[in-house]
Amino acid sequence: MDLTAVSGHAQRAQWRAWYSFLSWYTTRAGAEFQCMNWGYDDGRELVPPSAPERLPLQLYRHLVEGTPLAGKVVVDVSCGRGGGLAHLARACVPAEAIGLDFAPGNVAICRRMLGDGAPNLSFRVGDAEAIPLPAGSADVVLSVEASRCYGDVARFLDEARRVLRPRGHLLWADFAPRARLPLLDRLARERFAVLDAREITEEVRRAIRLDRARRRAIIERHSPRVLHRLFYRFAAADDRSATVRMFDRGDHCYFLRRLVRGEERP
């Protein structure tokens, strides 16, 4: 028995259950936020300050910097509540922006808040480890702050490569234990050429601090006090959050990888 595979499947099942609960609870409570990532801030205005979820949107904007999206097919394989992809669909004018998420509740939220009727934007249930798209059908695949939930990262990378056209781009951002990063990079290099590999931990930490009051306000407005600590920790909305502590200790980092599919399979 492959215990690693069992562990990966169990982890994915736990995350699916959590996000299913979160989508159900926030819908019931009337919380209308559209982004769940921790954001990005390097001192530039990548998104206008008037945008309520500016810092999470900036993570998407920074991730796609240098990658033309106009007229392309863009797939966000773990789109969450859809706000990041919807922003790119408006700002960068891809021909088609497809959001996939393994939690049906998240897809329902995307469709309700963002609509499925925009000419270049759609959402559907789909798994990053079994992407429901034909081979060679996408120009850009995004995975934003989600791969830690995948049961098998190698399978995700294989699937991203399969659906990308030659010279298509995988844009990948997430956090991981520093000790695990060499493995993730080896898996990526076996399948893609690396265009850019960097750490953005400090920019993400800055965004967490700057966005904390907004996150706390949402939690306090839409949940009873008994649930505040649970949601604070998930949203990195206080200093006791595991996210804040692991970045403070330095044993985790937030990474960004811009990868390109070659003309031929190795």
Beta-carbon contacts of 36 under 8 Å, excluding residues fewer than 6 positions away, are 56, 80, 81, 145
Order of strands, edge to edge, in the sheet holding 252-260?
121-125, 96-101, 73-76, 138-144, 164-177, 252-260, 193-199
Distance CA 136, CA 133 (A): 9
pLDDT in tens, the chain (266 residues): 333 444 677 887 888 898 999 999 999 999 999 999 999 999 999 999 999 999 999 999 999 999 999 999 999 999 999 999 999 999 999 999 999 999 999 999 999 999 766 789 999 999 999 999 999 999 999 999 999 999 999 999 999 999 999 999 999 999 999 999 999 999 999 999 999 999 999 999 999 999 999 999 999 999 999 999 899 988 998 887 888 889 999 999 999 999 999 875 44
Whether 265 is in a domain gets the answer no
* Number of domains, the chain: 1
Chain centre distance of CA 196: 18
Whether 94 is in a domain gets the answer yes
Whether 251 is in a domain gets the answer yes
CATH code where residue 212 lies: 3.40.50.150
Q: Which of 154, 156, 146 is nearest to 254 (CA)?
A: 146
Q: One-letter amino acid identity for 55?
A: L
Q: Residue 81 corresponds to which tokens in the numbers above?
A: 């509540």
CA distances from residue 121 to 71, 89, 90, 233, 241 in whole angstroms, order as listed? 13, 7, 9, 32, 34
Q: One-letter amino acid identity for 162?
A: R
Whether 13 is in a domain gets the answer yes
Whether 266 is in a domain gets the answer no
User: Residue 35 sits in which domain range?
Assistant: 3-260
